[in-house]
Amino acid sequence: MGQATQTAFRKAEKKYAQRSQTPDLHNVVDLAAASTRAAGQAVRGIQLTHDLESPATLPFQLFSHKRPPAFVLRDHPGLVLIPNPFTDEAQRWLARKCLCDCPRPPNRTNLTPFFNEPPESMFSLAANAPARSKRIGCRSHEDTLQLGVTLPKDSFYTQDELPSDLLERLRWCTLGQQYNWTTKEYDLGSSPFDTDADALMRAIALAITHPDEASDMPASNGYDGAAFVSEAGIVNYYDERATMAGHVDKTEEKMDAPLISFSIGLSCIYLIGSATRDTEPTALMLRSGDVLAMCGESRMAYHGVPRVFAGTSPEFLSCPAAGDQDKAAEMYPEWHYFARYLSRHRINCNARKCS
């Protein structure tokens, strides 16, 4: 497609995806860099209407403040950004949840159709595999047919693999109601949504209920957060070169309920547009710990991730020698392996109400 016929969204994707030169970040709304548009009129601070409460089941605090700063964007009614409200400990816990607990049966991953994933965590296997002999077997041709898939032509998935190699190919896992990427329906059964993760998402949904509307930049979130339940979700795993093309999440029946996400690890450019690809999107810098909620009008908006930035993961996640890492190692024996992964990846976990 020629440059002239490209949509405004596509043009923005290409601009930020380009690797031959450092991208121009001038127009990127970056709440951690005071010199950008963020300091101007692109965003407005809002008051959260409820405290962010940690689930009582956890022995530590998830949130560093009960009412952290939160923002809405002028051009995108309903999009709420809470810059990293988490404690360092919480980010480690979330990373561990996304890497060890989420990508396990009965949750499905992009690898499920092709490999007999072990019931224990692939991450732990990768971290602890003492010998290069411990491989994960690929499914038989019959199994893949039963799952409604055929093996890719290039025979990418035809031999048993080391857990560490498979971990590098992990792209997504689905939570709760399992999403079928072919039919674009939730028709593949269900797994229990992690109770603590759901409690976290509910706390966010409640806190952003009806943020104050008395302004020229309304937050436009009329949804009553008390009604939110995480029924389905996706964990996306990005390596330094991974991208996510612009799309709208519209399978859910309850499009008035927010789509809530948090990100851990590397920073990225997140593009948010409108209900058509023809509107020029706004570029946001999302950093480790940032929470984003797509409510109201923005729930129907095109969005995507054209760029992940290498070397931007915070030290407390990515450098085993930094800060209170002894505590992390005590809680998670494989912490060195986590740190290695998190120094080179971004994880995004999101939740939706479907019905």
Binding site feature residues: 247, 249, 303
Figure out which of the listed residues 179, 270, 335, 337 binds ligand AKG, where binding follows CB under 6 A.
270
53 counts as binding ligand AKG under rule CB under 6 A: no
Query: Cα(104)–Cα(123) distance, rounded to whole angstroms?
Result: 10
Q: Is 114 in the site for ligand AKG (CB under 6 A)?
A: no
Six token digits for residue 274? 């409108």
Write out the DSSP string of 180-196: BTTTTBS-S-B-PPPHH
Q: Which of 207, 305, 339, 342 binds ligand AKG (CB under 6 A)?
A: 305
Q: Hey, which residues does 291 pair with through a beta bridge?
A: 82, 262
Binding residues for Fe cation: 247, 249, 303
Does 107 contact ligand AKG by CB under 6 A? no
Residues binding ligand AKG: what is the number (CB under 6 A)?
Answer: 11
- Beta strands in 117-204, from DSSP E residues, in sequence order: 172-176
Residue 303 binds to ligand AKG (criterion: CB under 6 A): yes
The whole-angstrom separation of Cα 274 and Cα 301 is: 4
Q: Is 244 in the site for ligand AKG (CB under 6 A)?
A: yes
In this chain, which of 337, 348, 351, 353 binds ligand AKG, going by CB under 6 A?
Answer: 348
Please give the C-alpha separations between residue 136 and each of 102, 130, 166, in angstroms, as whole numbers: 18, 14, 8
Given CA atoms 219, 222, 224, 225 in this order, what sign does their dihedral have? negative
CB of 286 to ligand AKG, least distance (A): 6
Report helix, strand or coil for 319.
Answer: coil
**Minimal distance, residue 206 CB to ligand AKG, in Å:** 22
Residues 26, 56 contacting (CB under 8 angstroms): no
Nearer to ligand AKG (CB atom), residue 211 or residue 265: 265
What are the strands of the beta sheet with 282-286, ordered from one edge?
244-247, 303-308, 268-272, 282-286
| 216-235: contacts with ligand AKG (CB under 6 A) | 234
* Site membership for ligand AKG, residue 249 (CB under 6 A): yes
Out of 350, 351, 352, 353, point to the residue binding ligand AKG (CB under 6 A): 350
Q: Is position 264 an interface residue for ligand AKG (rule: CB under 6 A)?
A: no
Minimum Å gap between C-beta 260 and ligand AKG is 11
User: Should residue 94 be labelled a site residue for ligand AKG when binding is judged by CB under 6 A?
Assistant: no
Count of other CB atoms within 10 angstroms of residue 158: 11
- Max Cα–Cα distance, the chain, nearest Å: 63
What residue is closest to ligand AKG based on CB? 348
* Binding site residues, ligand AKG, CB under 6 A: 234, 236, 244, 249, 261, 263, 270, 303, 305, 348, 350
